[in-house]
Amino acid sequence: MASYVGNKPLFSNFDKLDDISSGFNGSANTFAMTSNSRGVTAGDETQVVISLNGVIQEPVTDYFLAATGQIQFTTAPASGTAFFGYVTGNIGGTASTITDGIVTTAKLANTAGTGSAVQLAANTSTLYITSNGRVGVGETSPDVALHVHDSSGAMIESPGAQAYLYMYANDRANNYDRRYIATENNGDFTIAGFGTGQWAKHLVVSSNGNVGIGTASPATPLEVNTTSPVIRSTHSTSGDYLQIFHNGSGAYIDFSADPLIVRGASYAERLRIHTNGNVGIGAAPGSARFLAAGGQSQFRYDHTTTSVSGNTDGTAFPHAVSISNQQGGGDTNLVSLGLSVNTTGATSNGLIVGHSVGQGALAIAFYTENSNTIAERVRIDNNGNLLVGKTSQGLANIGFEASAAGNVQITRSAATPLVVNRLSSNGDIISFRKDGTTVGSIGTTASDLCLTSNNVGFRMDGSNDHIIPVNDSLATRDAAIDLG
How many Cβ atoms are within 10 Å of 352's Cβ, its own excluded? Answer: 15
Structural domain spans, the chain: 12-91, 163-226, 298-382, 420-484
Residue 106: pLDDT band by 50, 70, 90 thresholds?
A: low
| Alpha helix positions (H), 257-372 | none
461 pLDDT higher than 80: yes
**Which amino acid makes up residue 177?**
D
Kindly tell me the number of DSSP H helices and DSSP E strands found in the chain: 1, 41
**What pLDDT, in 10s, does the model give residues 321-361?**
555 554 444 445 556 666 544 444 434 455 777 777 777 77
Q: Across the chain, what does the average pLDDT equal?
A: 79
**3-state SS record for 375-435:** EEEEEECCCCCEEECCCCCCCCCCEEEECCCCCEEEECCCCCCCCCCCCCCCEEEEEEEEC
146 pLDDT higher than 80: yes
**Which amino acid makes up residue 102?**
I
How far is C-alpha 52 from the geometric centre of its chain's CA atoms? 82
Average pLDDT of the residues in 256-284:
89
| Alpha helix positions (H), 65-165 | 105-108
CA distances from 105 to 32, 165, 295, 469 (A): 20, 21, 80, 141
112 pLDDT higher than 50: no
**What pLDDT, in 10s, does the model give residues 19-58?**
999 999 999 999 998 888 878 877 778 888 999 999 999 9
